[in-house]
Each structure stands twice: as structure tokens, then as C-alpha cells.
Amino acid sequence: MAIGNRITNTLNAAPGRSFTHLCDRWARVRRQPHPTAARALVFAIVLCLGSAQGWTQQSDQQQMRGLDDEVQEIKSDVLRISAELNLLEEKLLYPSGTEVAVFVALAQGDAMRLDAVRLQIDGQLVAHYIYSAKELEALRKGGVQRIYVGNVATGDHKLEVLVDGKLDGGEDFSRSEQFAFRKEVKPKLVELTLAGPNAGNTPIVLGEW
């Protein structure tokens, strides 16, 4: 993709080169067959073909690069603020004593098109997520989605998972499972690995962390 972009980026005609100019220049080349001069001109044309650098003054470029440095600094600062805010949010909203987080992953190589996941904890609907193509692709590449984070009391709980999707052949696929998990004092992480029935995998596998 990056290669493609680069190419597209260099395809543009340089402004200011007119038909007439080209003819004039070619006529000049014909009049001056000196090999070194011709070579230099040829190379200049080669560069000109792919170059998109003529658009701006050196000072503009310098300004842009200076601003780029500033933007990088801002990004670093904002990331630091974000990290602190995240910790604060976690402490305030999801203290470790009650925190439970549910993650969704797809089984490796599974071709099911995941459409939606619905979660109930102890009979209460806590998440109902519909997946976009981009999110599905990210899951297929091995990403893991944190679908729910919330609070439960220590002790035993029931998790009900409903998965909707489409199989390779286009037929609908729906499966629900119930699982029990135990919340201890530390944060509880629950991983759900989902798969279609065709790959021989169990459709919903619970992993506790």
C-alpha cells in the first residue's frame, strides 16, 4: 500500500511545462548534441518527472518541518496526559476490587464474519456490539477487543454470550453459551475466543486471566 501511494504521489505533471516549451527544449537538444550536456538534461528531466517538490519555497518546507517537530512534542505531551487520565479513570470508575473486563478475539484463521456480540452478566445486558468491516479485519489479524469493562462484586457470576455472524457460504450463524466465572479481589479479565463451526473449533471459548 505504501509503495502504491508513493507511486501515485509522483505521477503528477509538473506545472509550467507547456507543449511549446517542450518543443523548444527538444529543438535545443537537437542543436546541442554534446553528450555531457545532453546527459545532464536527461537526468534533470528524469528527476522532474517524478518530483513533486517544486511546489513550495524552501522556507515553507522549513516552516512545515519546524511545525512537525512541535506537533510531535504535543503528541507526546497529550499521550502522557492521556495515560494519567486513564489511570485516574480506572481508579475512580473501575477499582481493582470490583473491575471485570471482557475481551473478544477470533480463533486464528477462522473465516466466520462476526456481526455482533451480546453479553449479559448475571442476567443484565452489559454489552451489545455490532462490528464494522474494519474492526472485523483487526480481529482477524489477531487484535483483541475490550468489549466491556465494568464492576461486579467478588464471588461467583454468570456470563451469557450471544454471537451472531455469517459463515463462509453466506448462511447465518448464531450461538449462545453460558459460563460461570469467579471474581476475586484482583481485576478479573475474561477472554472470549469466537469461531465458526466449520473450522472444527468450539464456537465460544472462555479464558480467564
Number of residues that bind another protein (CB under 8 A): 95
Asked if 130 interacts with another protein (CB under 8 A), we say: no
Longest CA pairwise span in the chain (Å) = 93
Interior/surface letters 171-184, b for 16+ CB within 10 angstroms, e for the rest: eebebeeeeebebe
Question: With respect to another protein, which residue has the nearer C-beta, 95 or 124?
Answer: 95
Asked if 198 interacts with another protein (CB under 8 A), we say: no
Residues 6+ apart with CB under 8 A from 148: 100, 101, 102, 119, 126, 127
Least distance CB 126 / another protein (angstroms): 17
Chain positions 84 to 103 lying near another protein, rule: CB under 8 A, are 84-89, 91-92, 95, 97-98, 101, 103
Whole-angstrom distance, CA of residue 205 vs CA of residue 184: 21
Asked if 139 interacts with another protein (CB under 8 A), we say: yes
Count of CB atoms situated within 10 Å of the CB of 112: 23
Least distance CB 91 / another protein (angstroms): 7
Chain positions 165 to 194 lying near another protein, rule: CB under 8 A, are 185, 189, 191, 193
Chain positions 59 to 88 lying near another protein, rule: CB under 8 A, are 60-61, 63-65, 67-72, 74-79, 81-88
Helix ranges (H only) for the chain are 2-9, 19-31, 35-50, 58-93, 133-140
Residue choice 122, 137, 156, 168 for contact with another protein (CB under 8 A): 137
